[in-house]
Amino acid sequence: MRPLRFAAFAGLILFLSACSAAAPRAESTRSATTAASGISQERLRRLDGLLQQYVDENRIAGAVVRILQDGQPVYDRAAGWRDRESRQPMANDTLFRIASQSKAITSTAALILMEEGRLALADPVGRYIPEFTQTTVAVQDEQGKVSIVPAKRPITIRDLMTHTAGISYGREPTIAAQYEAKGLGPAAGNGWYTADKDEPICDTMARLGTLPFVSQPGEAWVYGYNTDVLGCVVERAAGMPLDRFIRTRITDPLGMKDTFFFVPREQAGRLATLYGSGADGFIVRAPEGSKGQGHYVDGPRRSFAGGAGLVSTANDYGRFLEMIRNDGALDGTRLLSPRSVALMRTNQIGALYRTPGQGFGLAFDTVETFGAADLAAPGNFGWGGAYGSLYRVDPQAHLTIVLMIQLMPNQTDFRERFLNVVYQSILDPVRL
């Protein structure tokens, strides 16, 4: 029996030795993976609790989050409800109104035309839209008297792309009545909405060109109809409607099969319901119409608003951002040169932007100083939409971050908390 017991004991020793030798290798592999990626999956899972908390507290109805690192998903989750009343759960392929996230796609369209020599950033907008040949500015003196004065210089395509043309959404008291009379400003939903207009976007922008703006070109950062005007410029320079240009030159080549100006009627059930923050902070279903659900299914389908008109998914928009993060190319398809993309994602307006330590490129806001946007590192860029959606790209961490919600008005701090929970999962030191 002794030889058998000895053999068994020796075998046990060999087994334990093998296990103890294997354990450090497994731990090293996990550590190396974490160090190489710079992302702690354990810390990133804190998003689960944050999403569920805001859904359970009725602060948001639901959300889709997609986070990519070097193009590969590191977090991909749908939470809550696409439609709370009918108990339709949120799904990863849910369609969202993305409002101003449309701006980066329209800006890409303009840069494609620039690279083909069909327009230049210094071109006056009046070359494409005659009503912009001689624009005016509403100036208010210290006594409150408003005067309409000529613009000091023509508005350029660069002014449109950097939001330094002086063009707002026409809701300021000094100009609101004039805008409303032309079907803009207070007459256009929340100012930027045109999906219910039974006319091409260039007709709407031609009327805009006859109205006074709120700042001289190049003197201030003013958020407004700039990219809607740019969409008309793209139509005129390309010789085709904006929806067709975006489809044939951007979304189809990138495999963005769920991005369009109006939802195909057979896919209407995939569109998330819009909610708003009530007086108590809890969500309420938004009304129908231009200030609520909108006409993205049953509208006239004629106004292709480059500044705020698109519908998309988290997956589709992530693909678009990956193209930008990869300097203009994705999966062997190149849309832009690296130099054009650099113009989009680096500050082009000096100190004019509204937030100290940040800037604005030809499509995105940019982080210039660490701490200007909480945990966002310098070089970070992104934007969001009026319906609550948000995106950031962090080149240092090789991350693309997409958050899709439908909440307007949004009186929560959810987006800020969301971003900080994402950034705290990055373990690599910040490069200043």
The model's pLDDT over 9-38, given as tens digits with 9 standing for 90+, comes to 444 334 333 333 333 332 323 333 333 369
Q: How does pLDDT run across 167-194, given as a tens digit for each residue? A: 999 999 999 999 999 999 999 999 999 9
* Residue whose structure tokens are 């219910």: 196
**Closest CA relative to residue 60, chosen from 262, 314, 286:** 286
pTM, entire model: 0.91
Phi, psi of 381 (to 5 degrees): -145, 160
Q: How confident is the model at residue 30, as a pLDDT?
A: 31
Q: How does pLDDT run across 389-415, given as a tens digit for each residue? A: 999 999 999 999 999 999 999 999 999
Residue 237 has pLDDT above 50, yes or no: yes
Q: What average pLDDT score do residues 308-335 get? A: 98
Count Cα atoms within 13 angstroms, Cβ side, for 406. 31
**Closest CA relative to residue 178, chosen from 210, 200, 222, 133:** 210
Peptide bond into 409 cis (omega under 30): yes
Measured distance CA(391)–CA(412) in Å, rounded: 17
**277, containing H or E segment:** strand 275-277
Q: What average pLDDT score do residues 333-351 get? A: 98
Phi, psi of 123 (to 5 degrees): -60, 135
Average pLDDT in the chain? 92
Task: Judge contact between 99 and 308, C-beta under 8 A.
Answer: yes
